[in-house]
């Protein structure tokens, strides 16, 4: 039985009781000694009355047209040509996605899954011109990639600060929805700093939005009403009972990764060398932990900064540098915001004791 059905039953039962009670009481209530006076004229008491309307208090919906007009020329359609090996032969698949021009030299930000394993990548501008694109760099962990076309004086989008976003703020998702060309959909910011597990890879610092995100939107921009890119659309939840839940990689998360891809062709991540899990009250009870928040160390990699710092399996990290650590996502984001070679202070709980150590981060191994 669904919740909706139970509520309906409760309402019907309540109405039945109310009607039954009224009917029963009517059998015992004596009529009034004298009937009330009535308005025998049948005229309205105030025939000129209307609902008050304060025009100044009415808030109009935002006008999205200037935003769409300003941003859309910088959004491109991306088509990746992928050769797939079948049982007896090879065949070609075409993956449609989106991208956003980030300067006038032809650099385009998109998603890694849009261009991953592509033999060729083609870019179509809103003016109809088509270019063969080079893959500058890709990053699986963040699902970001940069490609480039050989063109100049291109319209590009301005990058915004996603940390200024607020819940309920209007946003637009612009992209090559369903591979049918560049379209725009509106929505609001539903949640901030969300973590989502996609096929075993956790994406951090995501923006959840109600703006419709369809296949082909991946890699396109999520923009605010100032026309600034505050996210790159990446993921949506697909289920028959789910609507209006899509995610974009925040601009502040994406910006340093895009810079690394353009400068070096790959992303250099600082590395501590631990495998961790989020501490919950349930996990704390099952593992007999003395704290119910933090990042539980489940593995310490040999010859890693964590091992050198003396961390052990079963420790719970509760503070990293100047940041409180309440869960796995907090620790990962704190590490990623650090620098390779930086010496960081780590506060952790071992048994009943709170201890402090320090670790010097190194570059994340390629594996």
- Report the run of H or E that residue 335 belongs to, with start and end: helix 328-336
Picking from 276, 230, 254, the residue whose alpha carbon sits closest to that of residue 139 is 254
Catalytic entry in 74, 77, 80, 143: 143
Residue in the structure block whose two tokens are 């930086």: 342
Kindly state the tokens that stand for 322.
């100047």
Collapse the DSSP code of 330 into the 3-class scheme (helix H, G, I; strand E, B; otherwise coil) and give the result.
Answer: helix
- Identify whether 143 is a catalytic site residue: yes
Measured CA to CA, the distance from residue 289 to residue 29 in angstroms comes to: 67
- Identify whether 113 is a catalytic site residue: yes
Distances (CA, A) of 155 to 151, 152, 217, 295: 11, 9, 19, 44
Q: Output the 3-class SS for 58-96.
A: CCCCCCCHHHHHHHHHHEEEEEEEEEEECCCCEEEEEEE
Catalytic entry in 80, 98, 113, 330: 113
- Identify whether 218 is a catalytic site residue: yes
Catalytic entry in 218, 250, 251, 304: 218
Residues annotated as catalytic (active site), given as ranges? 113, 143, 218
């Amino acid at each position: 039985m669904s919740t909706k059905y139970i509520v309906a039953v409760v309402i019907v039962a309540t109405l039945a009781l109310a009607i039954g009670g009224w009917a029963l009481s009517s059998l015992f209530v004596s009529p009034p000694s004298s009937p009330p006076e009535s308005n025998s004229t049948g005229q309205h008491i105030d025939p000129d009355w209307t609902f008050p309307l304060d025009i100044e208090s009415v808030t109009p919906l935002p006008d999205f047209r200037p935003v769409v007009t300003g941003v859309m020329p910088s959004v491109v359609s991306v088509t990746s040509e992928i050769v797939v090996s079948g049982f007896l032969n090879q065949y070609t698949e075409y993956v449609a996605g989106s991208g956003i021009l980030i300067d006038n030299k032809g650099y385009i930000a998109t998603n890694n899954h849009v261009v991953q394993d592509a033999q060729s990548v083609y870019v179509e501008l809103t003016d109809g011109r088509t270019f063969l694109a080079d893959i500058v760099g890709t990053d699986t962990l963040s699902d970001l990639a940069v490609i480039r076309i050989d063109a100049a004086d291109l319209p590009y989008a301005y990058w915004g600060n996603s940390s200024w976003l607020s819940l309920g703020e209007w946003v637009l998702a612009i992209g090559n929805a369903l591979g049918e060309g560049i379209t725009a959909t509106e929505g609001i910011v539903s949640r901030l700093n969300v973590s989502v597990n996609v096929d075993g890879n956790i994406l951090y610092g995501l923006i959840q939005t109600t703006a419709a995100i369809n296949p082909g939107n991946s890699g396109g921009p999520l923009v605010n009403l100032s026309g600034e890119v505050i996210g790159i659309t990446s993921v949506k939840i697909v289920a028959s009972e789910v609507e209006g839940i899509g995610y974009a990689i925040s601009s502040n998360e994406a910006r340093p990764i895009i810079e690394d891809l353009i400068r070096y062709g790959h992303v250099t991540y600082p590395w501590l060398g631990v495998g961790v899990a989020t501490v919950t009250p349930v996990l704390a009870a099952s593992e007999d932990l003395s704290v119910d928040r933090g990042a539980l160390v489940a593995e310490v990699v040999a010859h890693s900064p964590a091992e050198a710092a003396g961390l052990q399996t079963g420790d719970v990290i509760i503070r990293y540098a100047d940041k409180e650590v309440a869960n796995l996502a907090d620790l990962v984001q704190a590490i990623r915001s650090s620098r390779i070679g930086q010496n960081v202070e780590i506060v952790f709980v071992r048994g009943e004791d709170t201890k402090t150590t320090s670790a010097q981060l190194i570059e994340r191994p390629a594996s």
